Amino acid sequence: MTVRVAVTGAAGRMGKTLIEAVALAEGCELGAAIERPDSSLVGADAGELVGIGKNGIAIVGDIADVTDHFDVLIDFTAPVATLNNARVCGGAGKGMVIGTTGFDATQKQVLADAIGSIAVCQASNFSTGVNLCFKLLDMAARVLGDDVDIEVYEAHHRHKVDAPSGTALSMGQVVADALGRDLDEVAVYGREGQTGARDRQTIGFATVRAGDIVGDHTVMFCAEGERVEITHKASSRMSFARGAVRAAVWLASQHPGKYDMQDVLGLK
């Protein structure tokens, strides 16, 4: 079975990489490419746009026009756009791979309602390496327990609009869950001025936005006399795109429900 994959945000940095990743992957093909209705690239050939040669898939401005052309949509856009796409996919019975981050509490509930009847794989990061790090972080937190200070550092390119990154928050959540802490209560987002001595129960987050950094994440477990650091550095968006395409092919054969990359990789 060949899975027909649609990519939205097709003209963006991640969208172009996803189209290329679909072309390189086995077991799938590009079924549709979607952009904003007002984009000047609507009507352009998606393959020619990303430099892999014409593939006969014209970019469209409305996902509702191409629901018959794909089995799974990959969406790495923005919360408002993803919510609209979720409503369309939910109504059409199409699966979704969601890499969009930055949803607020209300948007998370709207999304959950929209995708309740379809198969969805949602993750803050689709890199195989990052998902391995999640597993290692759980192990480290359980072994080191309450004897360390825990800090999460992340750096991304200057165009990223949400902070901390979804991946950093997921890393913090993995650690908090392993230690039985409520991340909403113990997270500290940046420090300034006379902050006083550090509370060991807190989990700190530090954010950098600069240049063209694809994505760096480090979690530090710091004790007296030693520290353990678990780090992942991405040098290309292709690592995320390959994972997302892998998830789309896997998702096409799953029953309706909510999944994540840990399910795709069999790490649970």
> How do strand 187-189 and strand 72-75 relate by DSSP bridges?
unpaired
Catalytic choice (16, 94, 156, 217)? 156
Question: Is 69 an active-site residue?
Answer: no
d(Cα 190, Cα 95) in Å, to the nearest integer?
37
Give bridge partners of residue 257 from the DSSP assignment: 119
Confirm if 54 and 82 have CB atoms less than 8 A apart.
no
Closest CA to 82 of 52, 49, 112, 42: 112
Catalytic choice (160, 217, 232, 255)? 160
d(Cα 108, Cα 95) in Å, to the nearest integer?
17
Question: Is 156 an active-site residue?
Answer: yes
d(Cα 237, Cα 215) in Å, to the nearest integer?
9
The CA radius of gyration of the chain, in Å to the nearest whole number, is: 20
Vertex 185 angle, CA 184 and 186, to 5°: 100
Catalytic residue set:
156, 160
